[in-house]
Every structure is written in C-alpha cells, then in structure tokens.
Structure 1
Amino acid sequence: MKVLFILSIIFFSTFSNAVVKRHDVPPENYVIDKKPEYLIDMPHEGHGVLINSQWVVTVAHTIFYDYVGKDLLIGSKVYEIESVHIHPDYTQPNKDLLKGDLAPLMNFFESRSDIALIKLTSTVSGVEPINIYSGKSEIDKTITVYGRGATGNGLTGEDPDTKSLRVMNQFQNIVESAKGNWLAFNFDEPENALPLEGMHGSGDSGGASVIFQEGVPFLVGLSSWQLGHGDISDFKGGLYGTTAYQVRVSNYHDWILGVLGS
C-alpha cells in the first residue's frame, strides 16, 4: 500500500496539475495575495472547493489514502473530514499504463470520472460556498483558474522544484471543448493568448475553474490532467500548445445533488 501511495504521488504530480504562465509576462502578474476562501488545500497536495456549508468537491485523484478524520483549514477555522465519496466510475491506472506509449493512458483518463465529494463533521461558518454552474454553455467562456502548485512558462514547461514554494497563482483561458465529463482548453502562444493565459500544472489538481456572471463566481471545472503524446518518459508538462482537461462540474450536477441529499 505504501508503494502504491508513493507511485500515485509521483505519477499525479507529473501528469495532473500548478500554474504555468506566459514567458513574456512578469510572473508576479499571476500571483494573488489572498486566495478565494472557497478554495481549500487538501491534506497532501491539490485543492478542493467548498460548494455547501458541509461539503467540498475535489478531483478523486487527490485522495491518496483514507482522509476520514483529517483536518481541512477553511477560512480561519479547522474542520474535520467525516466521509469521502468517490464517484463510482473512478479507477486508478494499472502499472502497465504508466510506461511506454502515452495513448492508452490518455484514453484511460478520458474514460473515467475524476471527482469526489468530502463531507465535514460540522458546518462551515464565515465562508461563503461557491455556486455550481449547472448550464451546458461552457464553450467560449473565459475561465479563471486557481492553484498553488509548481510553476513555469510555456517555452520551458513547468519546473517541479517550484512546487514546494506553495505560491497562490491564478490564470485565465478560454474553454474550447465541453463534452461529456470534460472541459478542455489549449495553452496558446502569446500572439493568440489572453493577457494572463496559462494552464494548470503539478500540484494544482482540484483547483477551481470559475466563471463570473454579474460579478458572482460559479464553479465550472476542476483541474485534472494534461494531454500528452509519445513516450511517457519524454513527457514535459506546461508547454505551449498543450491541451488541459478539467472535470466538467455541470456533467456531475445530478450526482452531486444525489450524494448531498443522501
């Protein structure tokens, strides 16, 4: 079990999600002094999002072991985890997928449901949960995404050594695909990019992807994985032209309500 846990950390730190930035924009432009209070740091790494006074949503691959009884800092208070509910269509890759050609692994990622819900033992006070976007019109919307994992830029890719700095960043991008379980967007080069164009990187998994309607934030996605090609040993995350995938929260609206209702 310990070996599998370590493999999971190494693997998902590489292929899941930190904020990778444009090389021609000062990195400090992406840094924010205060994260949204609904964005929560998970016990090991990655993030969750407060969607109800007693519930947090995250990507399932941030659940490295049994988190029941673990604490989450929400606002200025600590809350204990009562239960974890992983989507029934979530599975972990077998060892054969973690070597050689990336195509089978990418197909595996696309086929599963990378989402989980966490119930707290008590209700959160003093922090406003974020509303879930329940529509189906995500394409062409500008999203703001948060994370404090590794950083880097589109020319050189992400630098894993920066993950330990735990700096909170944000970036923006435009949703280009909203199909089934996933939202997808591309990390464009500067001539076609937004002023704060970027993508998620190592340590950002579960980070909130948000749209604003009349100034009100709505949760549309959760940072999950990057599309890779070729041999797994040659993969470099966060380069210009890379496609990023996020859990499409609207696709799981009924499942979320069902779990909360139970």
Structure 2
Amino acid sequence: MAWFSGAIKSILLAVAVSPVISQAIVIRHDVADEKYHATADDFPPLATLYNIGVHGTLVHPEWVLTAAHAVFCMNPGQQIKVGDEVVTVSGRFSHPDYRLGDKHDIALIKLARPVISTKPAELYGESDETNKVVWFIGVGGTGTGKQGQTISYKENNGKLRKAQNKIINVTDSDIVFKFEQGDKGEALEGVSGNGDSGGPAYIKLQDKYHLLGVSSRTDSWFYDVGEYGVTELYTRVSSYRNWLQQVISAKDDAARVGLSTQDPFLQDNMPADNMDKLCASLAVPNYQGQ
C-alpha cells in the first residue's frame, strides 16, 4: 500500500504546490474575502473532475473542455460532476502536440450521456482577447497577493471563489495574465493558485457564457503561486477552436484518436499499473445515484 499512499500525496502536492498543475483563486489583500465568494450560479457550466478539485467547462451536452495535464484519471467509467449532475466519462482526447508542462495544454472529455440540466458555454472564436477583463472561478487553495497562496485545498474545504483579471497579452497558444495590486488591479483582482487546473477564463455576453481560456501554468521565475507580480498562462481557446470542433464532430472515437493523443500525462509517483485504484479514490461522490 506504500505506492498508493505515496501517489495520493504526490497528486495532492501536484494540485496544491506545483506550478505545472495549478489554479485555485488567490485574492487581493485589501478586499474582503467574502466579496470573492461564488456559487454554482456564477458559472453553471463548471465541471469538477476530482474530489480534490481540478475543473473543466461543459462546451457541448456530451463534452467537457479541460487542461491536458489534468486528464490522468479521465478514463472510461470515471465519474465527474457537471453542474448538479454526476456523469460518467466515456473517453478523453488531448491535443497531440502537448508535452507535460508546456503549451497546447488542452483536452476534451467525452461523457457517456448528455448533460441535460446545464447549458454549455460558448467557445470564444475572436482574436481580440487582449485587454478584456475576464472571470476565473474555482475551489482549492487561496490566500492574498501579499503572501501568495497560504491556504491549501483541504483547508479551504471546497469553497468556491471567483475573481477578475485583465488579459495583458496573447500568443498563438496562450492568453497571459499578471496579478496586479492597488489601482493597477481590477476591483476583484485575483489569479489562479493551486488546485483547479483546467478551470475557465470566461466572460458573459447577452446571457451566454463564453470560454476564452483554460487554466494551464505559471510563467514567473521570481514569484511564488498567487503573489503579486506572478504571470499566469491560460490555453487560448480561440487558437484551438478548429481542433476542438473536429474532435467533437468526428464520426467516431477511432477518428478522434487520430486527431489526438491518449497519453494520460501521469505525474511523478503515479504508477501506471495501479492507477485504477488511485482514480477510484479520486472520483467525485455520487450522492444522487446517477
């Protein structure tokens, strides 16, 4: 059982500490925490992949979009939560050019049945993201910009928060944010911390939610997770919209495999031959017996 305990600790560490697997909400030090508190109604298409956190976004009744580095347990039969529904995974399809810790950090999770209680988010398709103010949302660790993330996912106990940030730059693969303080920041300025990889950067237009980015990684040598000045990268949805639509509309899963990779991108101390037991321990609770 030593491998199992070690693997759990590895995943918790990865979700809670690593700059590769990141993202929960860290907030301004000069704004009350309560102003960042959120509910599921703030972003209904939010999906939760594991009982320790990590997110995705419903973008089609049968598809969830997330980060490629977050799919290590997204195997057929694994359960995730989308809105108020617990649904079963039937497959995963990650971008074929992704390498752990690098760009192209995007993946689709196919569901065994359509989600009927939640309307999917729209895939943002314009190239005008720079200077847009977007929302982040997620559970996981938190803290303030002065000290960075100081509260772990376990200590936070799944409290959902949302925050704003402005896109300061875009690349072919990513959208870029910086955690600013004072007058340089938004009223509810915040950044991703650790615990919610794959979470959304989104805006709401005319009662529709539009997904601009997918939480991927930090890009700062001199700042810890959640500190003022830290730069974060979210995978740029508009750059991958064609690939996403090709995978979703493919005639069958065999065609989808040809468009993607099936690599689970296992983290350190995740033994491939024992992942079934590990993944079962991380599945979201199915209280409603769905």
TM (norm. structure 1) is 0.85
Q: Which amino acid aligns with 1:76?
A: D
Name the CA distance, whole Å, in 2 between partners of 1:130 and 1:207: 13
Aligned to 1:120: 111
State the Cα deviation string for residues 161-194 of structure 1 (Å, max 9, x = none): 3544111000001101111110001100112111
Secondary structure of the equivalent of 2:34? helix
Name the CA distance, whole Å, in 2 between partners of 1:187 and 1:215: 28
1:158 aligns with 2:149: yes
Aligned to 1:250: 238
- 1:129-144 residue pairs with structure 2 within 5 A? 129-144=120-135
CA contact under 8 A between 2:198 and 2:216: conserved in structure 1?
Answer: yes
CA 142–87 in structure 1, closer or farther in 2 if over 3 Å, else same: same
Aligned to 1:102: none
Name the CA distance, whole Å, in 1 between partners of 2:23 and 2:196: 4
CA contact under 8 A between 1:148 and 1:163: conserved in structure 2?
Answer: no
Q: 1:239 aligns with which of 205, 215, 227?
A: 227
Name the CA distance, whole Å, in 1 between partners of 2:163 and 2:152: 20
CA contact under 8 A between 2:217 and 2:233: conserved in structure 1?
Answer: yes
Q: 1:202 aligns with which of 178, 194, 198?
A: 194
Aligned to 1:82: 90
Q: 1:31 aligns with which of 12, 29, 37?
A: 37
- 1:176-191 residue pairs with structure 2 within 5 A? 176-191=168-183
Secondary structure of the equivalent of 1:67? coil
Name the CA distance, whole Å, in 2 between partners of 1:43 and 1:162: 12
Aligned to 1:55: 63
**Deviation larger for 42-51 or 166-175:** 42-51
> Number of matched residues?
241
Aligned to 1:100: none
CA contact under 8 A between 1:43 and 1:70: conserved in structure 2?
Answer: no
Name the CA distance, whole Å, in 1 between partners of 2:26 and 2:124: 25
RMSD of equivalent CA atoms: 1.9
CA contact under 8 A between 2:40 and 2:83: conserved in structure 1?
Answer: no
CA 6–31 in structure 1, closer or farther in 2 if over 3 Å, else same: same
State the Cα deviation string for residues 228-249 of structure 1 (Å, max 9, x = none): 316xxxx621100111110101
CA 76–18 in structure 1, closer or farther in 2 if over 3 Å, else same: closer
Aligned to 1:105: none
Name the CA distance, whole Å, in 2 between partners of 1:112 and 1:8: 21
Structure 2 residues without counterparts, runs of 5 or longer? 251-290
Name the CA distance, whole Å, in 2 between partners of 1:84 and 1:128: 21
Aligned to 2:285: none
Q: Which amino acid aligns with 1:224?
A: S
1:10 aligns with 2:13: yes
CA contact under 8 A between 1:148 and 1:166: conserved in structure 2?
Answer: yes
CA contact under 8 A between 1:133 and 1:250: conserved in structure 2?
Answer: yes
Q: Deviation at 1:200?
A: 0.4
CA contact under 8 A between 2:15 and 2:196: conserved in structure 1?
Answer: no
TM (norm. structure 2) is 0.78
Q: Which amino acid aligns with 1:216?
A: K
Q: Which amino acid aligns with 2:184?
A: N
State the Cα deviation string for residues 88-129 of structure 1 (Å, max 9, x = none): 11222xxxxxxxxxxxxxxxx4x4311110001111112100
Name the CA distance, whole Å, in 2 between partners of 1:120 and 1:48: 13
Name the CA distance, whole Å, in 2 between partners of 1:86 and 1:23: 37
1:40 aligns with 2:53: no
Q: Deviation at 1:6?
A: 5.3
CA contact under 8 A between 1:41 and 1:73: conserved in structure 2?
Answer: yes
Aligned to 2:25: 19
